[in-house]
Structure 1
Amino acid sequence: MDSILGLLKLRIKRGINLAIRDARSSDPYVVINMGEQKLKTRVIKANCNPEWNEELTLSIRDVKTPIHLTVYDKDTFSVDDKMGDAEIDLKPYFQCLKMGMKKLPNGCALKRIQPSRSNCLAEESSCIWQNGKIIQPMILRLRNVESGELVVELEWVDVTGCKGLSEVSL
């Protein structure tokens, strides 16, 4: 437990204009990799704008380890087709958490992160104070594919007995 800093809730909300990999649609699901952890959403049948609304939890050991997301099309009789990938750089989010903010008005933006060549953001993303927690909703543009975006959200969970972020340098 002492090597874990805490937990990160990753909400995979939905996909937008995902690539067509079958005749007229796709059966998408998302695989999340972070270090040695691997998680997966359920498959949404015949939908290029799927709504997953799934919450997956990752244990964080190193704030510098990015989260890799890969979207696949589920195929019954062959290997699943890749439908693009994206990466989440956690450093901007952890910088917000380390500000140590308390009791802010709901919806207050702590930091704005601009899309750039070094991240997968499709548009500006903000770290927001929401119900006593800092969340970061974002829209990720998928790489290595003709179209598609993923709507995701980050939320930190402090865990009793874990180090936390106080001594972590970013």
Structure 2
Amino acid sequence: MEKMENLMGLLRIRVRRGINLAVRDTVSSDPYVVVTMGCQKLKTRVIKNDCNPQWDDELTLMMTDLDLPMTLTVYDKDTFTEDDKMGVAWIDIKPYLECLQMGLENLPIGTSIKKIQPDKSNCLDDESRVVWVGDGKLVQDMILRLQNAESGKVEIQIEWIAIPGSKAFGS
């Protein structure tokens, strides 16, 4: 029950698609994504024979420690051998959390709150924006460049879900 006492909120990660993922089988791959943070480990479904898979899966992490690293790893599903790793990326949620702490309200839908540029400290492939989507919600779309891979990117979106009665975020 300790986890529930320390629960600050939930982080919804929409794993949208993979782009130009590495080939691990003869001509293609059967990719899936695993997101890990602390002892939490969530995975998408496997997409057969596709190096440009469309997952559109939603994974939800319980947020108890905002400093825990969050990794996204792409694997190729194999039937008779261990699944092959296709690359890894780190999800940096700090810029998103900074925007959440601003306590914004009543902005026009689609307002860009912050732009995050790719650099050595993140796995972004392109500029990422934190955007107001109305009803007190912010989302951040990211295209993450996979590390330790000859090619591949994964497009995700993150969104904070506040939990009534949880340990107040940002207080």
**Superposition TM-score, scaled by structure 2 size:** 0.96
Contact preservation (8 Å) 2:107, 2:134: no
1:50 and 1:137 map into 2 onto residues whose CA distance is 17
- 4+ residue segments displaced more than 3 Å: none
- Which of 2, 6, 27 is 1:3 aligned to? 6
Contact preservation (8 Å) 2:11, 2:61: yes
- Quote the sequence identity (%): 56
- Which of 2, 21, 26 is 2:24 aligned to? 21
2:168 and 2:17 map into 1 onto residues whose CA distance is 30
1:102 and 1:55 map into 2 onto residues whose CA distance is 26
1:165 and 1:109 map into 2 onto residues whose CA distance is 22
The match for 2:59 is: 56
- Which of 142, 148, 158 is 2:152 aligned to? 148
Paired residues in the alignment total: 167
Is 1:119 the counterpart of 2:93? The answer is no
- Which of 106, 110, 122 is 2:109 aligned to? 106
1:164 and 1:18 map into 2 onto residues whose CA distance is 39
Is 1:162 the counterpart of 2:162? The answer is no
**Superposition TM-score, scaled by structure 1 size:** 0.96
Q: CA RMSD in A?
A: 0.8
1:79 and 1:56 map into 2 onto residues whose CA distance is 23
Instruction: Provide Cα deviations, 1:2-23, integer angstroms capped at 9, x if missing partner.
Output: 2010001000000000000001
Q: List gaps (5 residues or longer) in structure 2.
A: none
